[in-house]
Amino acid sequence: GNSVTQMEGPVTLSEEAFLTINCTYTATGYPSLFWYVQYPGEGLQLLLKATKADDKGSNKGFEATYRKETTSFHLEKGSVQVSDSAVYFCALSGGGGADGLTFGKGTHLIIQP
Amino acid sequence: DGGITQSPKYLFRKEGQNVTLSCEQNLNHDAMYWYRQDPGQGLRLIYYSQIVNDFQKGDIAEGYSVSREKKESFPLTVTSAQKNPTAFYLCASSVAGTSGSYEQYFGPGTRLTVT
């Protein structure tokens, strides 16, 4: 079956540091890949997505590239801010359609001023 | 203002009681989903519905039930058979995005505490 593995947290960085959160996946077919962000006590917000190999998703300074050869979708940001503190989830949707996403366990990011 | 609403935000129940969580969307999405979130476990799929009057079990459906009588609504009932019902419950909906990506949009969640 499908699965997503992402680095355990919490990840603590200083403001303006470079961020990488690793995500690898196992899936049959050609999944779409997503990063979602969750702020305390709230639902998830779609951060970015990629639907095919070598696609780069980007939003709000965050980027991730769909690497089929390494089955990875690592999240990066060049200079983090305190407001980026949240939990980040990597997820995939199977090629079969609207049958639910498979999520990683989430990475808690803490940015210190 | 389109979106997904879940009510209530906090819900408290005694063990042995059934409880129904509300989820409404005005995004005109065909598909709706229920997930459960526990600390350190990510999100796990409970049930999903791709069309009115049809739904399928997800990975952890035992102890839960749903209905989909209207496109806009997908209520979840947590029954007394659910062994560990205390959790954060998230509802989502989707329509096929560009390239058929089925990105999902989430409600604000309901935190259920059963004592």
- The 10s digit of each residue's pLDDT in A87-109 is 999 999 875 556 788 999 999 99
**Per-residue pLDDT tens digits for A62-79:** 999 999 999 999 999 999
Average pLDDT, whole number, for chain B? Answer: 91
pLDDT at residue B100 greater than cutoff 70: no
CB contact under 8 A, B97 and A49: yes
pLDDT at residue B46 greater than cutoff 80: yes
- Any idea how long chain A is? 113
For residue B42, name the pLDDT band (cuts at 50, 70, 90).
confident
CB contact under 8 A, B40 and A105: yes
Structure tokens at B99: 């390239």
Among A36-40, B40-44, B95-99, the minimum mean pLDDT is found in: B95-99
Cβ A4 vs Cβ A103: under 8 Å: yes
CB contact under 8 A, B103 and A34: yes
Query: What are residue A6's phi and psi, to 5 degrees?
Result: -130, 160
Rg (C-alpha) for chain A, rounded Å, is 14
pLDDT at B45: 93
B3 in contact with chain A, both atoms CB, cutoff 8 A: no
- Which residue of B48, B101, B105 is in closest CB contact with A99? B48
Write out chain B residues lying below 8 Å of A41, CB-based.
109
Between strands A11-14 and A107-112, the pairing is parallel
State the DSSP code for A55.
-
